[in-house]
A and B are shown apart, each in its own frame.
Chain A
Amino acid sequence: MAEPLFYDLSIHLKSEDPVVLKKLSNLAQHLGYSGIAINSVDNSSKLVRSMEIDTINLLSSVELKISNASKLHGQIGKYLNKVDVITVVGGNESINRAAVENPNVDVLTRLATPKDNGFNHVLAKEAADHNVAISFDLGDIIHLRGGRRVHSLMNFRKNLLLVRKYDVPFILTSNAVSIFDMRAPREMIALAALFGMTREEAISGLSETPGAIALKKNHSPGYIMEGVLELDSSSVSDDLRGEHV
C-alpha cells in the first residue's frame, strides 16, 4: 500500500514572513506531512496564498470567528473563491448549527460550548449531509493540563461516538501557533488513541478527509457546480446521445 499523504489543516501564523513560511514548511516536511493549511485570521487584509514549497503543499485557509450565526453566510461569500479551506470556529449552539448546514463550510472546529461538547445527533446528521468536517483539535490535549484537558477528552469521546454513528467526515488538527506546536502524524495518531480513536480512523482523519478537502477547490475542467459537469460532446458516446435526441 502506498504511504498515505498527511495533512494538517490548522496552522496559525502570526507573521506572513517568507522566512517563517519556509521554516514551517521545512519542519512539516521533516515530520512527514505533505500539506498544511495556513490559517489567516479573518478580517486580515492579506491572505496567505496557496503555493508549493519543495514538496509541501501550502494551502490558504481562513478561520471565521463570528459572533452571530446570521453573519456566517456573508463572511463565507467573502472568502469562498479566495481560499482553499474555510474553517468556522464554533462554540455556541446556533453557530455550530449554521456551520454544519452550510455546504460551503469545509471544517467546523472548537465546537465545545461552556456547557457541553456542542455537538449532537441532529448536528451530526446535518454535517454528514452537507459534507462539513468536524475537527478534533489535538492541540487541546497537547497544551491543556488538568481539568480542562479532561473536559476536552470527554468532549472528543462524545464527538467520536456521533461521528462513527452518522458517518460524519472528521479531521485531526494541531491548531499550532508556532513551529513547536506541530506534531508528527504518528504522534497525532497516538494522541487520538487517548480518546478511543482507532489507528485506521486516525489515519483517515489525517490523510483522506483533509486530502479531499484540499482537492475540493481544484475542480476538473467543465465543472459547473456540485454534481454538475459539462461534458465535451465528442466524449459522449453515440448510443447515449441517440436515446436523448
Chain B
Amino acid sequence: MKVLPPTLRPKKRYLAFELIAESPISRDELIREIFSAASHLLGDVGASECAIRLLAFEESNGVVRCESDRTENTRAVLASITSIKGKRVLFHVLGISGTVLGATKKYLEGADVFSPQNSHI
C-alpha cells in the first residue's frame, strides 16, 4: 500500500513531562488515569479530538503525544490529574516539540527531576 502523503498526515505535538509522585506509578495506572481525566474534563468527543497517547514512560519521565491544535487542552487534562490509585501526583510539562526525538533530547535527557523523597528538600 502506498504511504499516506505528508500533507494528509495529522500534525502531532509531543509533550515531555515529569511526574512528581508520592510513590512510583506504573505505566498502566498512568494510562488509565490520563484517559479517565481526559473524558472527565473534555468529554468523550473532546478527548477523541485530542488523540492523546502515552509514548515513553520510565520512572518519572515520559512523553505524551496529541494533536497539534489541542496542546493546551492536553496540558489542562494533565494538570487536572491529582492522584493515581490513591497516590498523589503532580504533572509538570517540561516542553513541547514537533518530534518525539526533539522532545526527548531537549527536555528529558539530563533533566533535573524533582522528587519529594530526595535529599535536597
Contacts and interface: CB of A to CB of B under 8 A. Distances in A.
B93 A186 contact: yes
Nearest to A25: B121
A5 to B, nearest CB: 19
A142 B80 contact: yes
Contacts of A189: 72
Contact of B20 (A141, A142, A180, A186): A180
Nearest to A144: B80
Contacts of A188: 79
B120 A26 contact: yes
Nearest to A193: B72
Contact of B75 (A23, A179, A180, A187): A187
B79 A180 contact: no
A188 B80 CA distance: 10
Nearest to A22: B121
Q: How large is the interface on B (under 10, 10 to 19, 20 to 34, 35 or more residues)?
A: 20 to 34
Interface residues of A, number: 27
B93 A26 contact: no
Nearest to A190: B75
Interface in B29-85: 40-41, 72-73, 75-76, 78-80, 82-83
A19 B121 contact: yes
A30 interface: yes
B88 interface: yes
Given A19-B121, A142-B82, A182-B90, A190 B20 contact: no
B22 A180 contact: yes
A186 B96 CA distance: 12
A162 interface: no
Residue picked from A22, A31, A182, A186, most chain B C-beta under 10 Å = A186
**Is chain B's binding surface mostly helix, strand, loop or mixed?**
mixed
B108 interface: no
A65 to B, nearest CB: 24
Given A22-B121, A30-B114, A180-B88, A187 B82 contact: no
B79 A183 contact: yes
Contacts of A178: 88
B114 A27 contact: yes
A241 interface: no
Interface in B72-121: 72-73, 75-76, 78-80, 82-83, 88-93, 112, 114, 116, 120-121
Contacts of A180: 20, 22, 82-83, 88-90
A69 interface: no
B79 A190 contact: yes
A178 B116 CA distance: 12
Nearest to A24: B121
A66 interface: no
Given A180-B20, A187-B78, A190-B79, 16 more contacts: A19-B121, A23-B116, A26-B114, A26-B121, A27-B114, A27-B116, A31-B92, A178-B88, A180-B22, A180-B89, A183-B90, A187-B75, A188-B79, A190-B75, A190-B76, A193-B73
